[in-house]
Amino acid sequence: MANKVKNDAITSRDENFAQWYTDVCRKAELMDYSSVKGFIIYRPYGYALWEMIQAYMDKKFKETGHENVYMPMLIPESLLQKEADHVEGFAPECAVVTRGGLDELEEKLVIRPTSETLFCEHYAKIVNSYRDLPKLYNQWCSVVRWEKTTRPFLRGSEFLWQEGHTIHATADEAREETMRMLDIYETTARELLAIPMVTGKKTEREKFAGAEETYTIEALMHDGKALQSGTSHYFGDGFAKAFDMKFLDKDNQLKYVHQTSWGVSTRLLGAIIMVHGDDNGLVLPPRVAPTQVMIIPIQQQKEGILDKAYELQNQLQAQGIRVKVDASDKSPGWKFSEAEMRGIPLRLEIGPRDLQNGQCVVAKRVNGEKLTLALDETLPEKLATLLDEVHDEMYQKALKFRDEHITDVETYEEFKEVLDSKGGYVKMAWCGDEACEVKIKEDTAATSRCIDTQAHVDGVCPICGKKAKHIVYFARAY
């Protein structure tokens, strides 16, 4: 690959994955640190990625009948304390406001770590009858959770997310909603981000604070570690009882509502980076890439080159392709390297010789492959097709990697051996006892990622020898 310039500025993935990750975050200009630990700046390129995800998901949410709202940023401490499991889960992570204006506050206010309690309080006020149900609300906002160890996008004291909160007349409807949103998350990962997820149910130990059941999508990173990438919770009527959310049903009985919540966050940016990235930087799946094609003029000072570049830009834009021309005064090699670092799916080179021959060179970021394409009216459609092909290639590549890193084991020795030798998911029978889960974590640092709810359960738990209740995906995780 003649024109490929190795980005020496970044650490190699296999040398030091954590450093590689940070290097990509910084050098691709996705983020920067602020002066408060754990609070990052989403730079234009990183925020544009989040905007792409938002636009895609927001459409899906609205198509399935959800409405956006905005709840206050601050929660009175007493409100947060209304549901026992919930407050226990979040209290240690809260940022607390004690002064407002020039006064000490009578009641301390917590910056939302999540907004269940606010939605519950509001729902209790506005819902009276079965006619008012379901309520399908979603909120895009940032939340604050005070974290000791933070990493860009993966774990931060503040992060951007969406949180859906719905209430329903029946448990069945609420369960259906929980699974519908899990499905939207899984589809979004596959269709938009080219990431194959493992989906399943969290164990009691790993479920959300206050939920009856938590479902998850888990992505596998290049280093063999899992990343929880989205969760969908079924609450039953636990919060309804704590917050007195009742409605008069058709049968004239007062009943508690059944509830769900579900969320994905800017963690998805971390998943994109660590699933697809390589030693030259970011590799973006085409559908989420803010810029899908970067046109790089060669010898741009020569007559007609820049004109042609802008003409191509217009043609591609008309086809619905997100395209830019890099007309800066940097060298083509420098521009190539920058486009690679930023993971732009296709690079289109156009120089005097190309112009003469009525062609251009298109390079695929994912594998460096180069194509020579005619500069005719078929080009925009060809590139659109090529972008879809790139998406499929990236998905298949990630799927192959994931599938090669799911290992069924029957003994604990095997479990530990696989975890250390190749990492990834280790699938094993489990008795359902938290003690065995804890032992695994203490011994190996692996946690249960999720229960495979589809699996046929047989045999015994290798830890305690009791009859198995579940087949579980274990992995070391972010």
**Helices within 116-228 (DSSP H only):** 116-126, 171-191
Contact 137, 164 (CB under 8 A): yes
Binding to a copy of itself in span 107-146, by CB under 8 A: 108-109, 111, 118, 121-122, 125-126, 137, 141-142, 144, 146
Give how many residues touch a copy of itself by CB under 8 A. 53
- Phi, psi at residue 189, to the nearest 5°? -60, -45
Q: How far apart are CA 248 and CA 129, in angstroms?
A: 5
Instruction: Write down the least CB distance from residue 119 to a copy of itself, Å.
Output: 9
Selected range binding a copy of itself among 65-73, 359-367, 436-444, 450-458, rule: CB under 8 A: 65-73
Closest CA to 185 of 173, 174, 196: 196
Closest separation between CB of residue 39 and a copy of itself, Å? Answer: 4
Binding mask 408-447 for a copy of itself (x = CB under 8 A): ----------------------------------------
Is residue 93 part of the contact set for a copy of itself (CB under 8 A)?
A: yes
Rounded to whole angstroms, how far apart are CA atoms 132 and 167? Answer: 10
**227, 398 contact by CB (below 8 A):** no
Please answer whether residues 116 and 124 qualify as being in contact, where contact means their C-beta atoms are separated by less than 8 angstroms: no
What's the N-to-C CA distance of the chain in angstroms? Answer: 34
Q: Please, which residue, 54 or 319, has the CB nearer to a copy of itself?
A: 54
Question: How far apart are alpha carbons 255 and 246 in whole angstroms?
Answer: 5
- Comparing CB distances to a copy of itself, the nearer of 108 and 155 is 108
Q: Which is nearer to a copy of itself, 90 or 336 (CB)?
A: 90
Comparing CB distances to a copy of itself, the nearer of 18 and 70 is: 70
Among 2, 15, 63, 148, binds a copy of itself (CB under 8 A): 148
Instruction: Please give the Cα distance from 337 to 334 (Å, whole number).
Output: 5
Beta strands in 282-378 (DSSP E): 293-297, 323-325, 346-350, 359-364, 370-374
Query: Which one of residues 28, 49, 57, 71 is an interface residue with a copy of itself (CB under 8 A)?
Result: 71
Smallest distance from a copy of itself to CB 50, Å = 8
Here's the x/- map for a copy of itself, 1-40, by CB under 8 A: it reads as -------------------------------x-xxx--xx
Beta bridge partners of residue 166, listed in sequence order: 136, 260
Enter the tokens of residue 156. 């931060």
Single out the segment in contact with a copy of itself by CB under 8 A; choices: 153-161, 256-264, 268-276, 459-467.
153-161
Q: Residues in the site for a copy of itself, rule: CB under 8 A?
A: 32, 34-36, 39-44, 47-48, 50-51, 67-76, 79, 92-102, 108-109, 111, 118, 121-122, 125-126, 137, 141-142, 144, 146, 148, 157-158, 160
